[in-house]
Structure 1
Amino acid sequence: MGSTVGELLVSLPAAANQEQRREWAVACAQALGLGGMSISLGQELVWFSDGISERLQDLQFILGQGPSQRFQGETEVRQLPDLGRLLARQWPQFTAEAEELGIAALFIWPVHIGAVQAGTMTGYRRVAGPLSAQQSAQGQLVADALAEHVLNHWPSSTDTSNGPGHVGTVDLHRAEVHQATGVLSEKLGVPLAEALDRLRARAYASGQPLAATAHTVIQQELPQ
């Protein structure tokens, strides 16, 4: 039998590496009846349980469409228990990609830091159907706990021990995306917004994660 949400919140590691954080997120998703989950603050993906969760957030960022986009001013979970039926007209590209990944339902909780909504927590299921009232409420507890944890473990630009995989520091999975955007902007002589659009298009065309595409761009520009 897996751990309950209450037990997991108590055991949320104050200092953990990337793999330990991911294991905790997997257990938490299972306790909420989800296939996986992720949390984003602003445009930064800071925590995810599995590759599917990462890809779902990537797709929304790349395409500029999806249920987590423009999710502002909502105080309760947004339930999309039948993805194909509800979203095909509103977000056709995202819906097609999500269904190809085998996603049948999505759930988005607001993530608040104090009184400010700072991001979202997104969970998915491979079978259609709504959350129970208990799962909905417990999901919000998880979202709030993760927001506080992420804020308390945000990387410091002055601390050289920070970075991907370091114990006690959350990973900013799009740090290289911002770096690659700057590289492309300078190389192509285009504004940052256009450079980001081109990076997104390259990732979408290749089917590779956005972070992996950004890493490739950066490596190509390093001195040989």
Structure 2
Amino acid sequence: MGATTGSLLASLRPAADEGERREWAVACAHALGLGGSAVFLGRELVWFSDDTSARLEDPQFVLGQGPGPLIGDEREVRQVPDLGRLLAQQWPRFAAEAEALDIAALFVWPVHIGAVPAGTMTGYRRTPGPLTRQQPTGGRLVTDALAEQALHHWPAAHASHNGTGHTGTVELHRAEVHQATGVLSVQLDVSLAGALDRLRSEACTSGRSLTDTAGDIIQRKLPQ
């Protein structure tokens, strides 16, 4: 596993195009024994290897439940090797979402830029079980490389292509969420934090993704 991770790290070119980044993200997830993985920097979903890993981040962001929001400034991977045992008690609402996605185990690596906590990488498996002895270290190497690549390709503030994101790219997947939060803040005359709570509540109640709900608000489809 170590040699495979090392060769993957060496193969990621700074100027890699979308296809290369997608293949690299999928290969890294598989090298770590994961079904897929997604990376958050700040509040932005910037990289994901497959649709399941991207969808898994929505309930964590909407509900504030799951291992990701609790990792804080930890340095070691947080392992939840058997969701069936732990989720129903610790995160009951998140449990139903994970079960619907057929996820049996979750692993969250903290992402640091230097000494500063910057985000997380969440990986999933469809079968229960812990990581091997080498996989936590391999995951840390991957998070470092992904963070560096994301920073190198972070869209400029004036860029017009910020959007919902595509598998493996460094698009800002939450751009519509931020825009909808601003719309609600003005319409309801509430703070941005209050507007985000309203958006999360609407997504949770409707059972739709946060991005789809945000799109409806932007298009003025939801009753106010």
Q: Same fold (TM over 0.5)?
A: yes
Contact 1:35 1:126 in 2 (8 A): yes
Aligned to 2:214: 214
Q: Percent identity?
A: 65
TM-score normalised by the chain length of structure 1? 0.88
Aligned to 2:26: 26
Q: 1:97 to 1:162 in 2, by over 3 A?
A: closer
Give the SS at the match of 1:88: helix
Aligned to 1:71: 71
Aligned to 2:180: 180
Q: Does 1:40 align with 2:8?
A: no
Q: Does 1:129 align with 2:129?
A: yes
Q: How far did residue 34 of structure 1 move?
A: 0.5
TM-score normalised by the chain length of structure 2? 0.88
Task: Give the unaligned 5+ runs of structure 1.
Answer: none
Q: Distance in 1 between matches of 2:88 and 2:210?
A: 23
Aligned to 2:143: 143
Q: How far did residue 84 of structure 1 move?
A: 1.8
Partner AA of 1:203 in structure 2: A
Aligned to 1:189: 189
Q: How far did residue 79 of structure 1 move?
A: 0.9
Please give the per-residue CA displacement for 1:72-114, whole angstroms capped at 9, x wherever unaligned: 2311111110012123211111122112211110001111100
Please give the per-residue CA displacement for 1:30-80, whole angstroms capped at 9, x wherever unaligned: 111101100101211111111111111111000011100031231111111
Aligned to 1:57: 57
Partner AA of 2:207 in structure 1: G
Aligned to 1:163: 162
Give the SS at the match of 2:145: helix
Q: How far did residue 150 of structure 1 move?
A: 1.3
What's the RMSD between the two structures over aligned residues?
A: 2.1
Aligned length in residues: 216
Please give the per-residue CA displacement for 1:136-189, whole angstroms capped at 9, x wherever unaligned: 21111101111111122222114x4653469xx721111110110111111222
Q: Distance in 1 between matches of 2:194 and 2:84?
A: 31
Aligned to 2:92: 92
Q: How far did residue 200 of structure 1 move?
A: 1.3
Task: Give the unaligned 5+ runs of structure 2.
Answer: none
Q: Distance in 2 between matches of 1:38 and 1:137?
A: 17
Q: 1:70 to 1:133 in 2, by over 3 A?
A: same
